[in-house]
Structure 1
Amino acid sequence: MKEKVTKEEVEEEPLSPMARLFQLQELDNCIVTMIGFKAKLSPDIILDDLKHNVYKHPRFCSKLVIATHTIHIYSDDGARWIKTKVNVEDHVFAPDIDPHEINEDGDSFVDDYVSRLTLNPLDKARPLWEIHILNVKTFDAEAVGVMRCHHSLADGMSLMSLLVACTRKSSDPEAFPTIPAIKRRGKTMSHPFSDKGWFLRLIFAIYSTLILIWNTIVDLLLLLATALFLNDTETPLNEGAGVGNNLRRFYHRAVSLNDIKFVKNAMNMTINDVLLGATQAALSRYLNHRYGDKDGEDGTTTSYLNNLPGKIRTRAGVAINLRRDIGIQPVEDMLAKGSECRWGNYNSFVFVPFSISLETDPLVPLLKAKSIMERKKHSLYPSMLYLIIKFILNMFGHKAGLFRRSFSNITTFMSNIVGPMEEVSLHGNHIAYIALSNYGQPQALMIHFISYAEKMVISLTVDPEVIPDPQKICDEMEESLKAMKDTLSTKSDRRVVGSHNRGQ
């Protein structure tokens, strides 16, 4: 029977397709947002603010109720958001930390604390979120706030919009942060006949449409193949992976956003393309090192050689925001009925193949990433997949194993979220960094990027039994970005010198 709704609870609405997907047992997924602060935090201030404002947001004052049966011909699992009274004290934790327990290593303490959370499921009898306040000094912060919420509440863009709405500019405590207007780039192919006759434009339009249809069909067939039999090669990135409830560890690293923008502009590509190219290069170098360690004798390593085996199939699931406006949005607009920038999980994903190889030219991975993403953008697959997920979940509910196998058969997942353009403060507390991750997936590696002011924060979630050294992946990422920037800077300098010499 359906769980009884008390007088303090009001039924609201069913879960969205992606929210229901994240509720599947093998994909029970939580988002962890770690925020570093430049001063100690007062738990009382956080509690007082939540008491006055949590009721304004329906997802944070609603619990998830799942009926044991439905009367519809479609199997929607009876999952509903039920608005309920929130006892904020049940959701905010500020442990009394013994200084001797830290042993002058705050980073390890925070890492261990957050990792232990991954073994403790959220209490589904209450709204699915909680906040942990850790007044511990780390390498890059004086205190760390950790927010954990179930992925069914929202995607990363929704949560970032909510966080920004709660902050003010650090340079002007009375001013709201600047919200950049980011429009989606057009998905149409570049038109070579824009100044030609109508016949050539018509031929190109037909050609572009056929390519769009072909790319969509190929992508959908690859999804089906992945669900049935097409799995990635077993490598040190996924050996032994596949259990989503294993303990996870989190690691983050900040790099220069200006350097990434320099590469983006020099290569005429998007920031996503740069991040994909750098990740592809970094994972190639990391795998080469791991294979070198395996092949070395008597504890020696051969990682300076090309130790990569041939024909490695490695793919990343890349999150795609389906909203028309893809940047930070005003929360009141997202919560408005019928909003085009809706709150929740309005996203999809594409499978992106990585070319795992050592390249002498650091720009090659960038060119490969740009080529792949240009093809993925000219496809209706993300929107079609969202509709397919909705249809299959409606028809088969929790028995829909297609997506569980699809997720399990690829190596990693990636996302990139636009954060505040300038440094911001929360209740007067200056934010040093924002790192967003998630766990619960079958992959041993998840990679997330989030921009904050002039930094790009790389966040990794790893299964430590499979990937014991996530810092080396970040090292390789940083080194790859540096090599790309240095190569482009050298080429730019040569062009300037050449132009000067010709002028003389």
Structure 2
Amino acid sequence: MVLKVKVESVEDHDMEMWSEPVSPTGQYFNSSVLSVSVISILEFENPLDDSSSLTLINNVFLPINPRFSSIMVDKGDEGKHWKRVEVKVEDHITVPHFPEGLTLKFYDNHFNDYLSKIAMEPLSQTRPLWEVHIIKYPTSNASGSVVFKLHHALGDGFSLMGALLSCLQRADNPSLPLTFPNFQKSAKADTEIKSLISLVPKALSGALNTFCDFGWSVLKSSFLEDSQTPIRSGKIGVEFHPINIMTMTFSLDQIKEIKSNLDATINDVVTGMIFLGTRLYMVATNEDAKNARSTALVLLNTRSIGGYKSVNEMVQNQEAQIQWGNQFGFLHVSLPELDQDDNILNPLKFVEETKNLIKRKKNSSAVYLTGMLLEYVRKYRGPEATAEYIHTTLKNSSMTVSNIIGPVEKMTLANQPVKGLYFMVVNVPQSLTVTIMSYMDQLRVAVGSEKGLIDPVKFRICIEKAFSMMFNAAVKSR
């Protein structure tokens, strides 16, 4: 099968000459202090045929961006650069061998242990910063899986997921591009934005929010540390500890029902669900830690676009190429406290509070001021000091929540139907990371948790309980 994806690439004779400065964020994420990667898992309906893997990577994946064929080199006073090298694709592909004839439960455990193993192993700096693992064994979720591990220095979740999706096609019609949910603002919202009367109080409150949020962000990134709780060990070097990665699936239609009842966004509902479930887990594990000080870093895409374009546009379009890289910010959001009756009577109140917190944070320029602060630190103290600042920001908080928009249609990879997909950010100095991705009519929530601290089964039960409470309350209140 020939995959018809046209991409721009560097000419072969220019390979040795191609060099691009590494972005400041790319340097932060690949430093002596931080080395963060993204693991993306594609699940397949049928047993895997990997006969076309080398061709697929050579002809489709590598041409997407020169960084996939480059290593990071230090050019002294010029700083770090991406240098184009010859790629030996076979060195980047691993096909592990598990014991034969095991039950799905045993393969689930082997698969989880394998993910934890590759999460902890650093990517080699002597070759391009990515690798592929082809798992030919079944699990409870799939007949086989392909795991991509890509260094965060290559780009953020938006860039990397766009690259991976460029290797896939629509199952119903491969000649058509994959499409993504539309996030254009409504005409009503545009009218309100244009109204000077509505802008004045918004600007004043935004200025106040900016002052408060930026000040608190600096404190959180310096010495104001979250409490040690059932979701935060506070151990030094926690990013090097083994992790569990487990997932759960929710109906987008049901989430939309909750959304419409609360006049909120899908992100508000899902984040509220995660916060409520996390508080339920904390109280179920240790009553004294029920409302301990806990902060989440909620990641935001700072690109000047509302969502994904089609895959071909993302790869070919010059504007989309400019949008490549690490372009995100984060909001410090305190987990709302769990009142006595929240886990029995009024979960929607909890979600409403989460929505209002995030809405207030968004009406603030603290994210951009933080970016300016990081640039100031980089300029006068260097990228390593900036990486240390980011490391402390992560370490002092309790969890990170990140989400990515997935395609509406069912996908295939080399004619093999994709049943599901999710991702996880690894080597982060936190005990808990939650990622969210949509695919077709479902939402996949993945949880990366420190082994020995967080019980993944109990945590999943608490998140699912939070969702059930929210949905039942939303249906009853209509």
TM-score by length of 1: 0.84
Q: Closer, same or farther in 2 for the Cα pair 1:184/1:216, shift >3 Å?
A: farther
2:47 corresponds in structure 1 to 40
User: What residue is the counterpart of 1:481 in the other structure?
Assistant: 467
What stretches of structure 2 of length at least 5 have no aligned partner?
Answer: 1-12
Give the match's secondary structure for 2:108.
helix
CA distance in 2, matches of 1:431, 1:97: 22
| Residue 301 of structure 1: aligned partner | none
Aligned CA distance change for structure 1 residues 341 and 363 (closer, same or farther; 3 Å): farther
Distance verdict in 2 for CA 1:344–1:192, change over 3 Å:
closer
Which residue does the alignment assign to 2:10?
Answer: none
The alignment status of 1:154 with 2:155, answered yes or no, reads yes
Q: Does 1:388 align with 2:358?
A: no
Which amino acid letter does the alignment assign opposite residue 249 of structure 1? N
**Please, what TM-score do these two structures have when normalized by structure 2?**
0.89
The one-letter code matched in structure 2 to 1:433 is G
Distance 2:45 2:190 in 1: 46
Q: Helix, strand or coil for the counterpart of 1:43?
A: coil
Structure 1 residue 472: deviation in Å?
2.0
Say if 2:222 is the partner of 1:222: no
Would the aligned equivalents of 2:26 and 2:326 in 1 still touch at CA under 8 Å?
A: yes
Q: Give me the whole-angstrom Cα distance separating, in 1, the residues matched to 2:234 and 2:361.
A: 30
1:103-118 matched pairs, under 5 angstroms = 105-118=106-119
Deviation at 1:221, TM superposition (A): 0.7
User: Which residue identity is paired with 1:461?
Assistant: G
For residues 321 and 341 of structure 1, the distance between their equivalents in structure 2, rounded to whole angstroms, comes to: 14
CA distance in 2 between partners of 1:482 and 1:147 (Å): 32
- Can you list the C-alpha shifts for 1:132-186, whole angstroms capped at 9, x where unaligned? 0001111010001110010111111112222332222223344332233323789
The 5 A counterparts of 1:79-478 are 79-100=80-101, 105-183=106-184, 201-202=196-197, 205-243=199-237, 244-291=239-286, 307-309=287-289, 312-330=292-310, 333-334=313-314, 336-337=317-318, 339=320, 342-358=323-339, 359=342, 360-396=345-381, 397-400=383-386, 401-467=388-454, 469-478=455-464
Distance 1:277 1:212 in 2: 23
From 52, 64, 69, the counterpart of 2:72: 64
Letter in 1 for 2:371: Y
Please identify the structure whose Cα radius of gyration is greater.
1
State the secondary structure of the residue aligned to 1:448: strand
After TM superposition, give the deviation of residue 104 of structure 1 in Å. Answer: 6.2
> Partners in 1 of 2:313 and 2:25 — Cα distance?
20
Q: Letter of the aligned partner of 2:38 in structure 1?
A: I
CA distance in 2, matches of 1:193, 1:152: 38
For residues 248-269 of structure 1, the C-alpha deviation after alignment (integer angstroms, 9 at most, x for no partner) is 2211111111111111111111
Residues 254, 338 of structure 1: alpha-carbon distance in 2 compared, 3 angstrom cutoff: closer
Which runs of 5 or more structure 1 residues have no equivalent in the other structure?
1-5, 72-77, 195-200, 292-306, 493-504
**Paired residue type of 1:487:** A
CA displacement at 1:189 relative to structure 2: 11
Q: Distance in 2 between matches of 1:277 and 1:414?
A: 11
Distance 2:346 2:184 in 1: 33
The structural deviation recorded for 1:23 is 1.7
2:178–2:311 Cα contact (<8 Å) kept: no
User: Which secondary structure state, in structure 1, belongs to the residue aligned with residue 120 of structure 2?
Assistant: coil
The residue type paired with residue 257 of structure 2 is F
Matched, 1:23 2:30: yes
CA distance in 2, matches of 1:422, 1:7: 38
Select between 333-342 and 124-133 the one with higher mean Cα deviation.
Answer: 333-342
SS in 2 for 1:250: strand
**What is the rounded CA distance, in whole Å, between the counterparts of 2:358 and 2:199 in structure 1?**
20
After superposition, the Cα gap between the structure-2 partners of 1:43 and 1:350, relative to the gap in structure 1 and judged at 3 Å, is same
Conserved? CA contact 2:71–2:125, under 8 Å: yes
Offset at residue 332 of structure 1 (A): 5.6
Q: CA deviation at 1:58?
A: 1.1
User: Counterparts of 2:185 and 2:111 in 1: how far apart (Å)?
Assistant: 37
Structure 2 CA distance for aligned equivalents of residues 115 and 283 of structure 1? 22
Cα separation, 1, equivalents of 2:172 and 2:183: 23
Aligned residues: 456
Alignment check: 8 A CA contact 1:18 1:347 kept:
no
- Which residue number corresponds to residue 4 of structure 2? none
Whether the 8 Å CA contact 2:105–2:139 is kept in 1: the answer is: no
1:264-306: CA deviations, max 9, x gaps?
A: 1111111111011111110111011111xxxxxxxxxxxxxxx
Instruction: State the alpha-carbon separation in 1 of the partners of residues 175 and 193 from structure 2.
Output: 49
